[in-house]
Chains A and B, each alone.
Chain A
């Protein structure tokens, strides 16, 4: 049905498949060869190329975009100490962490309601969660411009409540960027949580009630822990793409809201400063990997792959 559901599926491997065969030693390798080659050549090799590119320096007296391999590791500290780069990097993590928390706050009750309270409308509601995917995400992000514009409905309501002044607005701003990020990845949060909530055995919750647990305690001690694999999958599926996204910041923010993705894109495609862009890509990937590892270790679901 969706990426999210598919990953949630792998997050806690369901019923075990048929007993693995041992004969035909070469068959699995033959089956995997074409796909593994594709990933090797077009995923792993490019990562190596990117790393080599990140150690290049400009050719002396050469044109823009001409670089030579000098294994200049100083590119890393140089880029990292430049506020043009570390500020957007920090901002990326701030925005994507905010979006992840917001998506969790919206997505968990939504998934819970669909799993336990929707009755025969369950499938309809599920389709409504994935329906946004049927419209190009760039157009949906642009629709947020119209919704959040000064003459749009959101600002009108906020002005009545008094949250923004009569001339104030929310687009373009950091709030609009975070709202857009939350919006774009909300289904990725909701679906895995739904997938793990759906498997929760109702009798366990009832048993907690029989043992005099209040509904809230029952939820906290039974349902919530059982849905943790979905929460972990959902937060990762939101945080990782949100941290690298640049479409929301470009369409809903000001230059003051640029994220690291915008910097990488601009440095790579407009400035043609490939080494710096490569350094930024590597730093982004490394910091995400470290954060994900720490997070997964802390939450305690190792069985992700």
Chain B
């Protein structure tokens, strides 16, 4: 772009190279800055992807050469796939429970005025403002004191606990922006309260609930700190990666992470395209 303008106005003032660079930077400073920020954000993602092709046995730290073997054999390293299955099972169950509990609270908070409403708001806010280390260690202190064996269920309890708040705020935001007149109009047209809820409110809130469910799933799937405190022998994918970091992470972990990245990206793109179509049509 800068080249075009400088050749266009060639004669009038001869700018030194340094000055031209400075002038271009002046006009495009924000873009350059954003470009650097995006490199910073995405470089580790690129590295994770790149190292999924690394021809390394167990210690995937330095580049050893290119291979497709890891992609052809994603379960090749012991425990990788088991940990992914564990994380997926856990994530689905946590999402289901946290979404239901959180959505109910969101409805209560937005639709009703009642005693204890601000206390409830505080109860929802506090877990989000508490560092994960404290959440994890306090729950472990409870489990230790009442002798609950650690495993799948203790992790599930912990995940639902910290996901509820995020579901509440997400659904609440959607619910609060709904036009109340739509529901009133339905009832003016002789819909019962239940019908108005089922035919009008629920479909309109559904995107918020879906977003909350996705958020809960990704929080649960990616959690490490709270899981590490409450999991005992149970291994999730992040825990597997962290534990093997000392010995060297098998490249299969990068394969799985990269595959999930592209699946998630595809879902987002599909969602966006559908959204754009709907707005147009």
Do A and B belong to a common assembly? yes
A-facing residues in B39-54 (Cβ within 8 Å): 40-45, 47-48, 51
Identify 29 residue pairs between A and B in the complex whose beta-carbon atoms are under 8 Å apart, listed by A's number: A2-B215, A3-B166, A10-B172, A15-B177, A29-B108, A31-B112, A32-B105, A35-B102, A36-B123, A42-B139, A42-B157, A42-B158, A44-B123, A46-B139, A50-B138, A107-B37, A117-B30, A125-B38, A134-B260, A135-B44, A135-B45, A139-B48, A143-B43, A245-B132, A261-B131, A265-B229, A278-B137, A281-B138, A285-B131
Contact call A138/B224, Cβ cutoff below 8 A:
yes
Provide the residues of chain A in CB contact with B170, threshold 8 Å. 6, 9
Pick from A25, A245, A285 the residue with the most CB of B within 10 Å. Answer: A285
Q: Are A136 and B241 in touch, CB under 8 angstroms?
A: yes
In the complex with contacts A50-B141, A247-B242, A281-B138, A139-B253 CB distance below 8 A: yes
Write the nearest CB–CB distance from A118 to chain B, whole angstroms: 9
Please name all residues of chain A whose beta carbon is closer than 8 Å to the beta carbon of B166 when the two chains form the complex: 3, 6
A20 on the interface (CB 8 Å rule)?
Answer: yes
B140 CB-CB contact with A under 8 Å: yes
Are A35 and B105 within 8 A (Cβ)? yes
- Given the complex of chains A and B, what is the CA–CA distance between A144 and B128 in angstroms? 27
The answer, among B110, B113, B173, B257, for a CB contact under 8 Å with A135, is B257
Q: Which residues in B have their C-beta under 8 angstroms from that of A25?
A: 114
A27-39 near B? 1/0 per residue, CB < 8 Å: 1110110111011
The dominant DSSP class at the A interface is helix
Count of B interface residues, CB-CB < 8 Å: 100
Contact digits for A67-80, partner B, Cβ 8 Å, 1 yes 0 no? 00000000000000
For residue B92, CB closer than 8 A to chain A, the reply is no
Other A-B pairs beyond A16-B176, A110-B33, 10, CB < 8 Å: A9-B169, A42-B161, A43-B127, A106-B37, A110-B38, A112-B30, A135-B260, A138-B241, A140-B44, A305-B122
Instruction: Choose, from A198-206, A208-216, A236-244, the stretch at the interface.
Output: A236-244
Question: Sorted from nearest, which 10 A-B pairs have the closest CB atoms?
Answer: A244-B131, A18-B180, A35-B101, A9-B173, A143-B44, A46-B138, A28-B112, A31-B108, A50-B138, A134-B264
Interface size, A (range): 35 or more
* Binary flags per residue of B92-130, CB closer than 8 Å to A gives 1, else 0: 000000001110110111111110011011111111111
CB 8 Å contact bits of B33-72 with A (1 = contact, 0 = none): 1100110111111011001000000000110000000000
Residues of B within 8 A of A269 (CB): 228-229
A7 touches B241 (CB 8 A): no
Q: Using Cβ atoms and an 8 Å threshold, which residues of chain A touch B140? A: 268
Given known A-B contacts A127-B268, A268-B140, A136 and B222 have beta carbons under 8 A apart:
yes
In the complex, are the beta carbons of A35 and B164 less than 8 A apart? yes
A158 at interface, CB cutoff 8 A: no
Q: Which residues of A contact B61 (CB under 8 A)?
A: 145-146, 149
Whether A113 pairs with B133 at a CB distance below 8 angstroms is no
Per-residue CB proximity of A248-270 to B under 8 Å, as 1/0?
00010000000011001100110
Contact of B183 among A18, A22, A183, A246 (CB under 8 A): A18
| B37→A143 contact, CB < 8 A | no
Given contacts A18-B180, A106-B40, contact A305 B164 (CB under 8 A): no
A186 at the interface (CB under 8 A from B): yes
Q: A109 in the interface, Cβ–Cβ < 8 Å?
A: yes
Is B91 interfacial (CB-CB < 8 Å)?
no
Interface residues of A in 129-181 (CB under 8 A from B): 129-147, 149, 151
> Which residues of chain A have C-beta atoms less than 8 A from B127's C-beta?
39, 43
Interface of B is mostly: helix
B143-167 at interface with A (beta carbon < 8 Å): 144-145, 157-158, 160-161, 164-166
Q: Is the CB of B133 within 8 A of A265?
A: yes
Query: Is A131 within 8 A of B253, CB to CB?
Result: no
Min Cβ gap A149→B in Å is: 8
**Chain A residues with Cβ under 8 A from B176's Cβ?**
13-17
Which residues in B have their C-beta under 8 angstroms from that of A143? 43-45, 47-48, 51
**Are B134 and A285 in contact (CB-based, < 8 A)?**
yes
A3 close to B225 (CB less than 8 A): no
B169:A10 contact, CB within 8 angstroms = yes
What are the residues of chain A within 8 A of B124 when measuring CB–CB? Answer: 39
Pick the residue among B47, B131, B222 that contacts A240 (CB under 8 A).
Answer: B131
CB-defined contacts of A137 to chain B, threshold 8 Å: 222, 224, 238
Give Cα A186 to B122, complex, Å: 26
A101 CB within 8 Å of chain B:
no
